[in-house]
């Protein structure tokens, strides 16, 4: 089931997640890898910044294309630090900002930690820093041991794949589903054959699980299931096998 979900998510965001045509993604590999469009390199104590071009599309570009909003303090054109630890901490902060932004828009991601969105090598650096550094938690939340999960390589890959899939699903939920129109929901029950079909309330506060847009889709699914049920099992009474 999870593999089918991952494939569906990957296909949708590849085809429709970008404003200028499709852009192939792989979960979690390309999302973890393509985090900036400017690469910093050094040679003989000189620092150079190389623009990787328009071919590199980051998750921040996708977020802007779908929502029209940018993350506070984060741009895909900024370069990451040369120092590996500083680079990892910068990415951890960016992922924390991404999760906080999505939650502020209504996403439900309490199980996704920023470190799960890192590359495997960066995750190992994160664990090393958390383990070695003796920092007062009151002065630095970033080194807090409150949510420290030490995972083996294979388990981390599984967790990272699940985390990125859930992030994309929540992006879809908060920025794409609201485009669903509920204007014609009442028309779904207009025919006599649909009068006895269970109703799903559309009021915003009628459910603490599904959003109004999700309930609109569930209503649409119920309507078409009922219609096809009577076509396939024409002579079968409701509730019979």
Residues 130 and 94 in one domain: yes
CA atoms of 95 and 100, how far apart (whole Å): 9
140 DSSP β-pair partners: none
Show which of 179, 197, 214 is a domain's final residue. Answer: 179
pLDDT tens-digit readout, 126-175: 999 988 765 545 455 554 545 677 889 999 999 999 999 999 999 999 99
Nearest Cα to Cα of residue 69 among 171, 163, 167, 169? 171
Give the side-chain half-sphere CA count within 13 A for 213.
11
Instruction: Give the C-alpha distances (Å, rounded to integers) separating 114 from 98, 108, 149, 179.
Output: 9, 14, 11, 28
Residues 191 and 173 in one domain: no
- CA R_g for the chain: 23
Q: Is residue 237 part of a domain?
A: no
Instruction: Give the C-alpha distances (Å, rounded to integers) separating 152 from 46, 160, 169.
Output: 37, 12, 25
Residues 155 and 79 in one domain: yes
- Total domains in the chain come to 2
pLDDT tens-digit readout, 10-20: 999 999 999 88
Nearest Cα to Cα of residue 62 among 85, 34, 99, 94? 34
State the residue range of the domain holding 201.
Answer: 186-232
This prediction has a pTM of 0.77
């Amino acid at each position: 089931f999870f593999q089918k979900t991952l494939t569906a998510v990957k296909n949708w965001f590849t085809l429709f997640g970008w404003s200028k045509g499709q852009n192939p993604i792989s979960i979690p590999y390309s999302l973890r890898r393509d985090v900036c469009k400017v690469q910093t390199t050094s040679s003989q104590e000189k620092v150079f910044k190389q623009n990787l071009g328009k071919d590199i599309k980051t998750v921040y570009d996708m977020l802007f294309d779908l929502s029209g909003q940018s993350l506070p303090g984060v741009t895909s054109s900024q370069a990451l630090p040369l120092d590996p630890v500083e680079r990892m901490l910068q990415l951890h902060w960016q992922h924390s900002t991404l999760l906080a932004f999505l939650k502020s828009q209504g996403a439900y991601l309490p199980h996704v930690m920023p470190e799960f969105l890192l590359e495997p090598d960066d995750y190992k650096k994160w664990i090393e820093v958390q383990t070695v550094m003796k920092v007062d938690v009151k002065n630095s939340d970033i080194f807090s041991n409150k949510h420290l999960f030490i995972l083996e390589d294979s388990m981390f890959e599984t967790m990272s794949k699940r985390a990125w899939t859930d992030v994309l699903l929540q992006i879809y939920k908060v920025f794409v589903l609201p485009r669903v129109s509920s204007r014609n929901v009442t028309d779904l029950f207009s025919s006599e054959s649909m009068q006895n079909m269970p109703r799903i309330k559309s009021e915003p506060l009628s459910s603490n699980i599904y959003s109004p847009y999700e309930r609109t889709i569930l209503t649409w699914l119920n309507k078409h299931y009922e219609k096809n049920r009577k076509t396939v099992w024409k002579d079968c009474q409701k509730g019979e096998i």
